[in-house]
Amino acid sequence: MAVTGDLLAAADELNRRAGAWRTEPARSTQLEALALAVSANIPVLLWGEPGIGKSAGMERLAAGLGVPLETVIASVHEPSDFAGLPIIGDDPAATGVPMAPPDWAVRLARAGRGMVFFDELSSAPPAVQAALLRVVLERRVGSLVLPGPVRVVAAANPPASAADGWHLSPPLANRFVHLHWTHEPRTVARGMAGTWPELSVPAVDEGKAAAAVARARGAVSGFLTARPGLAHHLPSDAEARGGAWPSPRSWEMALRLLATGYATGAGQDALAAAVVGAIGDGAGLELLSYLDELDLPDPDRVLANPAAFALPERGDRQLAFLTAVVASVQGDCTRKRWEAGWKVLAKAVDAGVPDVAARAAADLAALRDTDWPVPSGIDGFVDLLQLSGALPGGG
């Protein structure tokens, strides 16, 4: 018996050596896109064939973040495992019947942060997928609410290669950023030599956060104004409905991804993959093309010196930028910045396009402190604002 134990100990040591690895700085678009979505705290769904390293990627990401990882195989659970099991107390008529959460949710709640990884999502039947809706969207498991810092990541095999595979239901699919997880032969070969690419989460520059949000708001708002038909488009076939498609919810996700990308200096390829993963190929590629041509100025710099700013000539760029300016003022609303905003909007009047700035003017007027006097730049919008009720009669 002792000899057998020695043999197993030696085998275990060999396995430990074979499983040891290190990381090195290397660019990987799919890793960067995953890290970007995790940083933005948006649920991510990794699509890929079995055995290509989705689970291993989660372990590396959690280790890099220094947070606990809870892996839940969705396909082997019942709906009640996510909705909670009813527990009858002493007086149900007075206290109700609480829904007890599973142990993995309790551990994450106690830790206050972490990652939950739902694996084999496409093998989960529709009833289980329906129960997961609330977990993914509201972070609620039974009667327990997961802490805000807990990130949600899932993985799925294409239905054709999943065991008893199902298409994802549209409501569940629309709650994820969909990333296609593939393998790069050179990366695999390097990994077999003991070295894998380093996975790091992009750090948000606090000094850029307000301007990044304003820039993203202007870009998305301007694009949807120009392409209103893309605000919501549910695909007609089941496979496409189980992936990324545009809706008000997924557009909000795209906005957060853009803002996070701008504030972290994320790579363009990674940002593009994440945005397309939120709103789908068609809308995503159109948005990216629009952003390439948009090239908006920094709204904070313009507010610091509005006199030096020239309004763009294109109507869509005018609308996008003015929306970004108001969003920037809203993020740090002081009297000086509010009055500078009106100087920027006044340039639309001077350019003969006050209608382009009408919505932005109403939003800016709503930010006014009652102690602030009405600035001169508002003159071109007085009639409009009085009609909408944003400005009292008589100026």
- Each residue's pLDDT tens digit, 196-223: 887 777 888 888 888 899 889 989 988 9
pLDDT, position 381: 72
Mean pLDDT of 245-264: 96
With contact defined as beta carbons under 8 Å apart, do 253 and 245 qualify?
no
Query: Collapsing DSSP states into helix, strand and coil, what is residue 15?
Result: helix
Least confident of 153-157, 289-293, 377-381: 377-381
Q: What are phi and psi of 136, to 5 degrees?
A: -70, -45
Structure token pair of residue 7:
């043999």
Residue 282's pLDDT band (cuts 50, 70, 90): very high
Q: Which CATH architecture has domain 44-175?
A: 3-Layer(aba) Sandwich (3.40)
Q: What is the mean pLDDT of residues 36-49?
A: 92
The more confident residue out of 66 and 178 is 178
pLDDT greater than 70 at residue 386: no
Percent of the chain with pLDDT over 90: 31
The three state secondary structure string of 150-196 is EEEEEEECCCCCCCCCCCCCHHHHCCCEEEECCCCHHHHHHHHCCEE
**What Rg value do the Cα atoms of the chain yield, rounded?**
25
User: Does the structure show a pLDDT above 90 at 316?
Assistant: no
How many Cα atoms within 13 Å fall on the side-chain side of residue 296? 32
pLDDT, tens digit (0-9, with 9 covering 90-100), for 69-87: 999 998 888 888 888 777 7
The predicted structure's pLDDT at residue 287: 94
Q: How confident is the model at residue 394 (pLDDT cuts 50, 70, 90)?
A: very low
Q: 395: burial class by Cβ within 10 Å (0-12, 13-18, 19+)?
A: exposed
Tokens of 59: 């372990």
Q: How far apart (Å, rounded) are the C-alpha atoms in residues 391 and 210?
A: 27
Identify any residues that bridge with 178 across adjacent strands, giving them in sequence order. 45
> Who's near 147: CB < 8 A, 6+ residues apart?
108, 109, 112, 113, 139
Q: Which two tokens stand for residue 120?
A: 């084999």
Q: Which residue has the tokens 């085998």?
A: 11
Task: List Cβ<8 Å contacts ≥24 apart for 304-310.
Answer: 304/340, 306/340, 306/341, 306/343, 306/344, 306/347, 307/343, 309/344, 309/347, 310/347
Q: Tell which residue, 35, 61, 47, 23, has the closest CA to residue 270.
A: 35
* pLDDT surpassing 80 at residue 254: yes
Could you tell me the pTM of the whole model? 0.82
